[in-house]
Structure 1
Amino acid sequence: MNIKSLCRREVVGISANAGLREAAALMCEQHVGSLVVVTNDTPSKVVGIVTDRDLALDGLGHDQPQPDQPVGELVRGRPLAVPSSAGLREAAEAMESAGVRRLLVVDDDGGVVGIVSADDLLVAMAEDLAKLAQALRRNISRETSERGVFTGASRPRVTYPFFGTVASQ
């Protein structure tokens, strides 16, 4: 599975000059937990990602919150992106090495096609593990129905004593 099939494509952007209050209102209106912060250039350039957590901790968590502070001031470092052809492991490794929870997903030309979160990756990985567990259960069921249950003579059972003693048969 590649990231393009997993990422959310409803990327919501906001100008780096917009205030924190405007960013919070946009998140509420669009029902998203992050915004892609962009410049006012034409074409606009991605500055980074700002999250609801950034707003709460860095924007409003101070003694003197400034609701009109530019949202671009909360962006830390370069925006991190993975190609849309990246796999789950590659995206997880990128998140781990950068210490982030969200990545931009870009096409071959560098255009943003989506955003993927750690939650998205976790859900996809859990679904894959659930499918594997189901395959194992079906295999056991199939083998039991095809081969039947062993009813031959029982062998002596090996027992394991408590720690510090020698095993006996």
Structure 2
Amino acid sequence: MNIASLCRREVVAVPAAASLPQVAARMSEEHVGSVVVVTGDDPPRVTGILTDRDLALDVVGSGQSGSNLSAGDLARKSLVAVPGSASVQEATATMEKAGVRRVLVVDDAGRVTGLVAAEDLMAAISDELAQLARALRGGIEREKSERKAATEPAGPRPVFPSFGTAVQ
């Protein structure tokens, strides 16, 4: 499974000059926790990422109103990206190394094609684990139907009280 198959293709972008109330309103409208901050160039160039956590901690948490700040002022400028061909393991290693929860997904030319959040990776990994659990349960059920139980028990079945020691 590669990251391109997991990423959100519709990346929400805001201009670097956008006010923080405008950014918060856009996040609310789009139901996203992060936006990509871009220049006014044609085509736009990504200059940073701004998250709802950045707004909460860097503005509200520090007692600022944020009215004098723009998206470009607050956005994290150290961009972290992975190619669309990256594996889940490569993306998580990149996140761990950079200390981030989101990475940009780029094509071979370096253009942003999506965004992957830690939550997206956790969902994909949990889906794979659930599939493995179903396979294991199916194997047990198949085995029960194909194999006869032993006619003679191997011995007395131990009983374990709540504190964990076997009782004979």
For this structure pair, what is the TM-score category when the shorter chain's length is used for normalisation?
0.7 to 0.9
Q: TM-score, normalised by structure 2?
A: 0.88
1:70, distance to aligned residue in structure 2 (A):
1.1
Alignment of 1:45-56 (within 5 A): 45-56=45-56
Shift of 1:100: 0.6
Deviations 1:122-144 (CA, angstroms, capped at 9, x unpaired): 01000000000110000011011
- 1:164 maps to which residue? none
Which residue number in structure 1 is paired with residue 144 of structure 2? 144
Letter aligned with residue 123 of structure 1 = A
Show CA shifts across 1:2-31 (max 9, x none): 111111111010111211111001111111
Q: CA contact under 8 A between 2:50 and 2:74: conserved in structure 1?
A: yes
- Say whether 1:69 aligns with 2:66: no
What SS class does the counterpart of residue 14 from structure 1 fall into? strand
Residue 3, structure 1, aligned to residue 3, structure 2: yes
Q: Which residue of 1 aligns with 2:37?
A: 37
What RMSD in Å do the two structures reach over aligned CA positions? Answer: 2.1
Q: Please identify, of 55-64 and 135-144, the stretch whose mean Cα deviation from structure 2 is larger.
A: 55-64
Contact 1:103–1:115 under 8 Å retained in 2: yes
Identity of paired residues, percent?
Answer: 54
Is 2:166 the counterpart of 1:154?
no
Asked if 1 retains the 8 angstrom alpha-carbon contact of 2:49 and 2:77, the reply is no
Alpha-carbon shift at residue 71 of structure 1 (Å) = 1.2
Q: For structure 1, which runs of at least 5 residues remain unmatched after alignment?
A: 160-168
Which residue is 1:13 aligned to? 13
What's the CA shift for 1:158?
9.0
Between the aligned partners of 1:155 and 1:26, the Cα distance in structure 2 is 67
Residues 3 and 85 of structure 1 are in contact (CA less than 8 Å); yes or no, is this contact kept in structure 2? yes
Question: 1:155 & 1:64 partners in 2: Cα distance?
Answer: 72
Q: TM-score, normalised by structure 1?
A: 0.87
Name the counterpart of 1:80: 80
Alpha-carbon deviations, 1:106-163, whole Å to 9, x = none? Answer: 1111111111100000010000000001100000110110112222x3334597xxxx
Q: Distance in 1 between matches of 2:89 and 2:150?
A: 41
What letter corresponds to residue 36 of structure 1 in structure 2? Answer: V
Q: Alpha carbons of 1:68 and 1:19: their partners in 2 closer, same or farther (altered >3 Å)?
A: farther
Q: Which amino acid aligns with 1:9?
A: R
Per the TM alignment, residue 72 of structure 1 is displaced from its structure 2 partner at its CA by 1.3
Aligned length: 162
1:75-114 matches, within 5 Å, as: 75-114=75-114
